[in-house]
């Protein structure tokens, strides 16, 4: 039997990421004003994140471990995180970025690290959920591409 984080299977498991308090983040990590990014409301972003999570390439294995058929995000983003949309370009989709990763210049790291898309953010959200549920009993480092980059603090 595969490892599951929740003993009871449900069709839809809801998560409020704003209730997670054990997360390091940088609430000052935001886009430069000169970029003219516009904030995305939490409600709109959570709708987009729900779709991206449920359709992600890793969704089957994530849903198996979360013991559900799909995820629905409610409430708000993780504390310190915020979503922004880049200015629209003709005949192109809107680029969305998620700011607030703890490895930012504000915290002494070499570069700022926004999540460049929902698809890139999904594995980090999964790690946030797993880390919160296991409370350190199942230590795993986050394997998302932002956390996996070498961005050690300057010495």
What are the pLDDT digits (tens) for 53-63?
Answer: 999 999 999 99
* Among 81-95, 101-115, 131-145, the least confident range: 131-145
Report whether pLDDT(29) > 80: no
In whole angstroms, what is the distance from residue 122 CA to residue 17 CA? 12
Q: Provide the whole-model pTM.
A: 0.83
Question: Sorting pLDDT into bands at 50, 70 and 90, what band is 22?
Answer: low
Q: Is 29 in contact with 88 (CB distance < 8 Å)?
A: no
Average pLDDT over residues 100-108: 68
Q: What is the mean pLDDT of the chain?
A: 83
Q: What is the pLDDT of residue 155?
A: 38
Q: Which residues contact 31 (CB under 8 A, 6 or more apart)?
A: 37, 84, 97, 99, 114
Percent of the chain with pLDDT strictly greater than 90: 43
């Amino acid at each position: 039997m595969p490892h599951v984080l929740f003993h009871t299977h449900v069709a839809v498991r809801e998560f409020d990421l704003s209730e997670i308090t054990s997360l390091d983040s940088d609430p000052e990590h935001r886009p430069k004003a000169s970029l003219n990014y516009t904030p995305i409301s939490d409600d709109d972003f959570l709708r987009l994140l729900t779709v991206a999570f449920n359709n992600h390439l890793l969704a089957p294995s994530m849903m198996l471990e979360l013991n559900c058929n799909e995820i629905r995000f409610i409430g708000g983003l993780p504390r310190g995180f915020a979503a922004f949309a880049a200015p629209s370009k003709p005949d192109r989709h809107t680029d969305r970025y998620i700011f607030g990763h703890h490895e930012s210049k504000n915290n002494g790291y070499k570069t700022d690290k926004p999540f460049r898309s929902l698809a890139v953010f999904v594995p980090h959200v999964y790690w946030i959920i797993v880390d919160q549920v296991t409370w350190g009993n199942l230590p795993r480092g986050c394997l998302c591409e932002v956390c996996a980059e070498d961005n050690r603090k300057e010495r």
